[in-house]
Amino acid sequence: MPKQQQGLQVIQHMGLTYRVMQSAFSGRVGHALPRWRILLALHECGQCSQKHLAERCRLDPASLTRQLQAMEKLGWIARAVDPQDNRLTNASLTPAGQAVVNDALPRRAAFFEESLKGLSAADIDTLNRVLSVLEQNFLHAAADKPSQG
């Protein structure tokens, strides 16, 4: 099979695998991946600006705002204007939000353990290396996109 066709199959397989992983994660952990990334970031960082959260969670600001609004309505997070810079809005977990994270962390750990069954440490290292190369290639491809006009 030609390299280009193999590459197409790999990229399509990777996309399918990611979608399956997202669905399985949500079902097992109880939270969609974007929401979980926000909860985990706030758990690890404490109070955090929305700008920093968007960068850390790799979410566009509008998506992040929608997620934060929904979690605020659930009582899981609180938001407030940054006292040092009123252009920034900070978010933090409430005690209820921290309880949600604490409840989900063991399920997350079990999900990851189960997901990596059958892979050696060397397999995982190789996979990480390959994914890093692909990520850089995707970033370069996005930066080199042809102009539309």
Query: In angstroms, rounded to a whole number, what is the distance separating the alpha carbons of residues 140 and 144?
Result: 6
Query: Could you tell me the domains of the chain?
Result: 12-142 (1.10.10.10)
pTM: 0.83
Helix (H) / strand (E) element for 90: namely strand 89-93
Tell me the average pLDDT across 107-113: 96
- DSSP-based three-state secondary structure for 148: coil
Tell me the average pLDDT across 74-98: 94
Query: Measured between alpha carbons, how far is residue 83 from residues 24, 44, 57, 76, 133 in Å?
Result: 40, 21, 23, 21, 41
Tell me the average pLDDT across 90-116: 97
Q: Report pLDDT for 21.
A: 95
Q: What is the pLDDT of residues 48-84, one digit of tens each?
A: 999 999 999 999 999 999 999 999 999 999 999 989 8
Q: What is the pLDDT of residues 2-44, one digit of tens each?
A: 888 888 898 999 999 999 999 999 999 999 999 999 999 999 9
Question: pLDDT band at residue 106, thresholds of 50, 70 and 90?
Answer: very high
Question: pLDDT band at residue 148, thresholds of 50, 70 and 90?
Answer: low
- Which residues are within 8 A (CB) of 98 and not within 5 positions of it... i.e. 6 or more apart? 43
